[in-house]
Amino acid sequence: MPTEIERKFLVKGDEWRQLGTGTVYRQGYIPTENGTTVRVRLVGESGYLTIKGLSVGIARAEFEYAIPVADAQQMLDTLCEPPLIEKTRYRLDIEGIIWEVDEFAGDNQGLIVAEVELTEETQHLVLPSWIEREVSDDPRYYNVNLAQNPYSNWVER
């Protein structure tokens, strides 16, 4: 079963910026009624369609397929609920662990989140100095929720 185990953290300062380069992401969601996530994503010049099941703890089933860029653009423009998520993702290799730092733009400007994908839930993780605090359990930070209730709307952060 393809399963994703992720931990998510808020980022402080700019020290992380010198550690990797960024790629522009544009993504949106087809809203569902049963908690399944249907995501359309443009990553640089590539398109993807991703289906994710409900989370069970910090694990969830994930199915991702490469699709033509023109299909992704048309689905983003006509089938996904606005606002779309716009962000630059920086991929940092820190002592063999891949950290993905997402710097959001548009309606989520000001938010910077770091994600790390683990091979098992109990894996030991050394936190870099630019990590502020963990938000793995806060559903507001799910990208699907940032599309519906963007960071610029939050009263409490």
Asked whether position 82 contacts a copy of itself by CB under 8 A, the answer is no
Asked whether position 20 contacts a copy of itself by CB under 8 A, the answer is no
CA distance 1 to 23: 28
Q: Of 25, 29, 90, 141, which residue is the catalytic one?
A: 29
**Which residue, 67 or 135, is less far from a copy of itself as judged by CB?**
67
**Which residue, 14 or 33, is less far from a copy of itself as judged by CB?**
33
Find the shortest distance in angstroms from Cβ 92 to a copy of itself: 30
| HSE toward the beta carbon, residue 19, CA cutoff 13 A | 20
Contact code string over 35-64 relative to a copy of itself, x by CB under 8 A: -x-x----------x-x-x-------x-x-
CA distance 111 to 85: 12
CA distance 78 to 6: 30
Contact between 84 and 76 (Cβ < 8 Å): yes
Q: Is 65 a catalytic residue?
A: no
**Burial track 86-124 (b if 16+ CB lie within 10 A, e otherwise):** bbebbebeeeeeebbbbbbeebbeebbbbbbebeeeeee
Asked whether position 34 contacts a copy of itself by CB under 8 A, the answer is yes
Find the shortest distance in angstroms from Cβ 67 to a copy of itself: 6
Tell me which of 14, 33, 120, 156 binds a copy of itself, using CB under 8 A. Answer: 33
CA–centroid distance for 33 within its chain = 21
Chain residues binding a copy of itself by CB under 8 A are 1-2, 30-34, 36, 38, 49, 51, 53, 61, 63, 65, 67, 71, 74-75, 78-79, 81
Catalytic residues: 29
